[in-house]
Structure 1
Amino acid sequence: MREREEPWEPPLLMVTVDLVILTLRASVLQVLLVERGIEPFAGCQALPGGFLSDEKEDLHAAALRELQEETNLDASRLHIEQLGTYGAPERDPRGRILTVAYLAIAPGLPEPVAGTDASGAAWTPVDRVLSGQVRLAFDHRQIFDDAVERARTKLEHSPLATKFCGGEFTIAELQGVYETVWDVKLDERNFYRKVQRIPGFIEPTGADRRAAKGRPARMFRAGPAKALHPPLTRPEGPHAEEES
Structure 2
Amino acid sequence: MDFYKSEPKTLLAVDCIIFGFDGESLQILLIKRGLEPERNKWSLMGGFVQADESPEEAASHVLFKLTGLENVYMEQCGVFGNPNREKYGRVVSLTYFALIDTKQYTHIITDEYEAKWFPVNKHPTLIFDHLDMITVAKRALRTKAALYPILFELLPEKFTIPQISALYEAVYDTELDKRNFNRKLLSSDLLIKLNEKDKEHSKKGAFYYKLNMDLYKEKIMSFLRYLPSWSIEG
In the superposition, the TM-score normalised over structure 2's length comes to: 0.81
1:44-91 C-alpha deviation (Å, 9 max, x unpaired) = 111001112x3111212211212233x2x1323631111121111111
Aligned to 2:195: 208
Aligned match for 1:46, one of 43, 48, 59: 43
Shift of 1:178: 0.6
Q: Following superposition of structure 1 onto structure 2, how do residues 135-154 of structure 1 map, counting pairs within 5 Å?
A: 135-154=125-144
Distance (whole Å) between structure 2 residues aligned to residue 27 and residue 7 of structure 1: 52
Q: Which has the higher helix share?
A: 2
**Alpha-carbon distance change, 7 to 141 in structure 1, aligned in 2, over 3 angstroms:** closer
Does the aligned pair in 1 maintain the 2:24–2:170 contact within 8 Å? yes
**Alpha-carbon distance change, 215 to 143 in structure 1, aligned in 2, over 3 angstroms:** closer
**Residue 64 (str. 1) matches residue 75 (str. 2):** no
Gaps in structure 2 of 5+ consecutive residues: none
**Greater RCO, CA 8 A, separation 6+:** 2
Percent of counterpart pairs with the same letter?
Answer: 26
Q: Following superposition of structure 1 onto structure 2, how do residues 1-244 of structure 1 map, counting pairs within 5 Å?
A: 9-52=6-49, 54-69=50-65, 71=66, 73-76=67-70, 78-108=72-102, 109-110=105-106, 112-115=109-112, 118=113, 120-129=114-123, 134-198=124-188, 202-204=190-192, 207-212=194-199, 213-214=203-204, 217=207, 219-221=209-211, 223=213, 224-225=216-217, 228-230=220-222, 231-234=225-228
Distance (whole Å) between structure 2 residues aligned to residue 7 and residue 104 of structure 1: 35
**Alpha-carbon distance change, 138 to 7 in structure 1, aligned in 2, over 3 angstroms:** closer
Question: Once superposed, which parts of structure 1, at least 4 consecutive aligned residues long, lie more than 6 Å away?
Answer: none
1:130-172 C-alpha deviation (Å, 9 max, x unpaired) = xxxx211111111011111222233322212211112232322
Distance (whole Å) between structure 1 residues aligned to residue 115 and residue 208 of structure 2: 37
Distance (whole Å) between structure 2 residues aligned to residue 168 and residue 67 of structure 1: 24
Distance (whole Å) between structure 2 residues aligned to residue 174 and residue 167 of structure 1: 12
Shift of 1:228: 4.2
**Counterpart amino acid of residue 210 in structure 1:** K
Does the aligned pair in 2 maintain the 1:170–1:218 contact within 8 Å? yes
Aligned length: 220
Does the aligned pair in 1 maintain the 2:60–2:70 contact within 8 Å? no
In the superposition, the TM-score normalised over structure 1's length comes to: 0.78
SS of residue matched to 2:217: coil
Instruction: Compare CA radii of gyration and give the structure with the larger one.
Output: 1
Gaps in structure 1 of 5+ consecutive residues: 1-5, 238-244
Which range moved further: 22-31 or 43-52? Answer: 22-31
